[in-house]
C-alpha cells in the first residue's frame, strides 16, 4: 500500500511537470526525460526549460515513473528525489548516459532548430532495456532512437533522433 501511494505521488508530480512543458508558450520547467538508443542503452536528458522532447515521453507519466522504479530496483540506494538536478547529477552512477540541452555558442534563451543536447555523463556500466521491467521497456520503446548509440554520441539533436518531437514556443517570431 505504501508503495502504491508513493508511486501515485510520483506520477502526479511528473504528470504536472510534463503537462506544463507540453502546454508552455515560452520557458517551461527544466524537466528530465528518458530515452533509449539503438543498442538499448538508457539515457536521462535535461531540457534546461527549452529543449525539445518527444511527445511520447510527455504523454506517459506512469511510464516515466516505471523507468525510475526499475532503476531503483537495480540500485536500491538511488531513491527518487523528484525532478531536480540531484537525480541528473547521479545518472552515471546509476548506469545512465546523461545529456543536457545546450545552445553552446548560439542564441540561448530561445529554442532554435538543431540545437543539441550535449552528453555530460557516461556510465561505467550502462543500463540496457533488457534489465528493466516490462512497463519501463514498453514506455521506452516509444522513445527509442535507432539513429544513434549514446556511447558514441557526444551531441544529440532530438528532431533527428526521435519521432513527433514537441518544440518549445518560438515566442519571438
The reply to whether 145 falls in a domain is: yes
The reply to whether 172 falls in a domain is: no
pTM over 0.75: yes
The reply to whether 67 falls in a domain is: yes
Nearest to 117 by CA among 73, 148, 139, 76: 148
Which residues, at least 6 apart from 100, have a Cβ–Cβ distance to it below 8 Å?
45, 46, 48, 88, 117, 118, 120
Q: Kindly state the DSSP code that residue 143 receives in the 8-state scheme.
A: T
Q: Is 41 a residue whose pLDDT tops 90?
A: yes
State the residue range of the domain holding 145.
Answer: 2-166
- With beta carbons less than 8 A apart as the criterion, state whether 68 and 140 touch: no
Q: How confident is the model at residue 75 (pLDDT cuts 50, 70, 90)?
A: confident
Q: How confident is the model at residue 140 (pLDDT cuts 50, 70, 90)?
A: very high
Q: Which pLDDT score is estimated for 20?
A: 87
The reply to whether 173 falls in a domain is: no
pLDDT tens-place string over residues 122-134 = 999 999 999 999 9
d(CA 4, CA 114): 40
Range from 26-30, 130-134, 157-161, 162-166 carrying the lowest mean pLDDT: 26-30
The reply to whether 152 falls in a domain is: yes
The mean per-residue pLDDT over the stretch 26-48 comes to: 90
Q: Which pLDDT score is estimated for 62?
A: 94
Burial class (CB in 10 A: 0-12, 13-18, 19+), 39: middle
d(CA 146, CA 133): 21
Q: Kindly state the DSSP code that residue 164 receives in the 8-state scheme.
A: S
Domain count, the chain: 1
Amino acid at each position: 500500500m505504501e508503495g502504491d501511494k508513493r508511486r501515485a505521488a510520483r506520477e502526479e508530480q511528473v504528470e504536472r511537470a510534463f503537462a506544463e512543458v507540453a502546454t508552455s508558450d515560452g520557458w517551461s520547467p527544466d524537466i528530465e526525460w528518458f530515452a533509449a538508443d539503438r543498442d538499448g542503452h538508457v539515457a536521462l536528458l535535461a531540457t534546461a526549460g527549452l529543449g525539445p522532447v518527444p511527445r511520447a515521453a510527455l504523454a506517459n507519466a506512469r511510464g516515466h515513473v516505471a523507468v525510475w522504479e526499475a532503476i531503483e530496483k537495480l540500485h536500491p540506494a538511488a531513491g527518487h528525489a523528484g525532478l531536480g538536478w540531484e537525480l541528473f547529477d547521479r545518472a552515471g552512477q546509476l548506469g545512465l548516459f546523461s545529456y543536457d540541452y545546450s545552445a553552446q555558442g548560439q542564441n540561448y534563451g530561445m529554442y532554435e532548430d538543431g540545437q543539441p543536447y550535449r552528453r555530460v555523463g557516461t556510465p561505467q556500466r550502462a543500463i540496457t532495456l533488457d534489465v528493466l521491467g516490462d512497463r519501463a521497456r514498453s514506455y521506452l520503446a516509444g522513445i527509442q532512437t535507432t539513429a544513434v548509440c549514446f556511447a558514441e554520441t557526444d551531441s544529440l539533436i532530438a528532431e533527428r533522433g526521435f519521432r513527433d518531437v514537441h518544440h518549445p514556443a518560438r515566442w519571438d517570431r
